[in-house]
Amino acid sequence: MVVFDLHCDLLSYLAGNALAPRSPRSAYNNESRTSISQLMKGGVAVQTLVIYTPTKPWSVRSGLRQLALYQEFPNRYKNVLSPFHSNLKADIKTCLAIENASALVYEDEPLQKGLDRLDMVVARVETPLYISLTWNEENRFGGGANAQAIGLKPDGKVLLEWAKHNGVCIDFSHTSDKLAEDILNSTSSKVLASHSNFRDVCPVARNLPKQIAQEIARRGGVIGLNFVRPFVGATSSALLKHIEYAHTLGIENALALGADLFSTSCIPASQRKSASFYFFDDLENASCYPKLRQMVTKAFGENYAERLFYKTAFNFCRARG
């Protein structure tokens, strides 16, 4: 069994960003929920690693720290982690992505500085698989999932042009509905929702409304199923309901995996809830994939499970070039 996952927060865990105490951290730490041992036990062949930060005065500092950590992976974890595009042998291949464009440009600095940083990433590291304009709140690019009335802003239009020119996909997992609609009306870039479920099954703002999900699929995009409890439902088996729903919409072949596994230690103590609030016991870290594969195979067949766990995401990346 092999797995291609479209989203995890290992980099922000390793960076010990400003929301968490700084302490020596390693990709071998199981606290991250996507440690090397957990990934290998889960059969993960390709893991997308996102540069994530909320929109804060320290966003770029954290984003650049995470980028530096990603660049160190081939040497620090030799023969274990290496970029998907490289010829280096490794147990697990990685893809880079950006969750919230605020990670590379501050709210109050010229936009060109952020574009220069993005150009540096492409030239010196790798072309990111995708970029999301926002996280949950509003920023200079548009409205996030908690700012539903805010759409695409002028800086967002410029960023869409940069992404199209550089072959970077646009991620819808943290857009407001208005921003999602504006993006679809403004660009022909490849699109995806890297870690989102369906709002009709679990009615929260972070999940996709039917029309947006259908349009992502129509454009050849993918939707990575999210394992975080508030976005799934009452039990882990509710994840199967999201797959069933995709079948009713005729977009089941657009589904992939975007588990969104993260360490709760990166959440401020004043806002942190118990681990059971965020994760089901049987979907709590990257070692869970074999058991989930059995559930999906039983419900939808082996051929579909193979597409969901690897082929759909791989073919999407290959088509992107």
CATH code of the domain in which 159 resides: 3.20.20.140
Average pLDDT over residues 194-219: 98
Over residues 261-295, the pLDDT tens digits come to: 999 988 887 789 998 999 999 999 999 999 999 99
Tell whether the model's pLDDT for residue 18 goes beyond 90.
no
Helix (H) or strand (E) run with residue 153 in it: none
Task: Give the pLDDT band of residue 321 (cuts 50, 70, 90).
Answer: low
> What confidence score (pLDDT) does residue 21 get?
54
Helix (H) or strand (E) run with residue 2 in it: none
Closest CA to 119 of 61, 87, 159, 79: 159
Tell whether the model's pLDDT for residue 198 goes beyond 70.
yes
Average pLDDT over residues 85-90: 89
> What confidence score (pLDDT) does residue 114 get?
98
Average pLDDT over residues 52-67: 96
Task: Give the pLDDT band of residue 216 (cuts 50, 70, 90).
Answer: very high
> What confidence score (pLDDT) does residue 23 get?
66
> What confidence score (pLDDT) does residue 22 get?
58
Over residues 131-140, the pLDDT tens digits come to: 999 999 999 9
> What confidence score (pLDDT) does residue 16 get?
84
pTM: 0.96
Determine the Cα–Cα distance for residues 95 and 70; give it in Å rounded to an integer. Answer: 10
Which residues does 227 contact at the CB level (< 8 Å), separation at least 6?
239, 259, 260, 261, 279, 280, 283, 288
Tell whether the model's pLDDT for residue 20 goes beyond 60.
no
Average pLDDT over residues 61-79: 96
Percentage of residues in the chain having pLDDT higher than 70: 98
Task: Give the pLDDT band of residue 19 (cuts 50, 70, 90).
Answer: very low
Please give the mean pLDDT across all residues of the chain. Answer: 95
Average pLDDT over residues 297-313: 98
Tell whether the model's pLDDT for residue 17 goes beyond 50.
no
Which residues does 311 contact at the CB level (< 8 Å), separation at least 6?
none
Average pLDDT over residues 101-120: 98
> What confidence score (pLDDT) does residue 280 get?
98
Task: Give the pLDDT band of residue 32 (cuts 50, 70, 90).
Answer: very high
Q: Which of 15-24, 36-45, 249-258, 272-281 has the lowest mean pLDDT?
A: 15-24
Among 10-19, 49-58, 265-274, the range of highest mean pLDDT: 49-58
Alpha carbon separation from 61 to 15, 64, 294 (Å, rounded): 10, 5, 42
Determine the Cα–Cα distance for residues 243 and 266; give it in Å rounded to an integer. Answer: 30
Average pLDDT over residues 160-177: 97
Helix (H) or strand (E) run with residue 304 in it: helix 302-306
| Total domains present in the chain | 1
Tell whether the model's pLDDT for residue 58 goes beyond 50.
yes
| Residue 16 belongs to domain spanning | 3-320
Alpha carbon separation from 318 to 224, 227, 311, 312 (Å, rounded): 16, 25, 10, 10
Residue type, 190: K
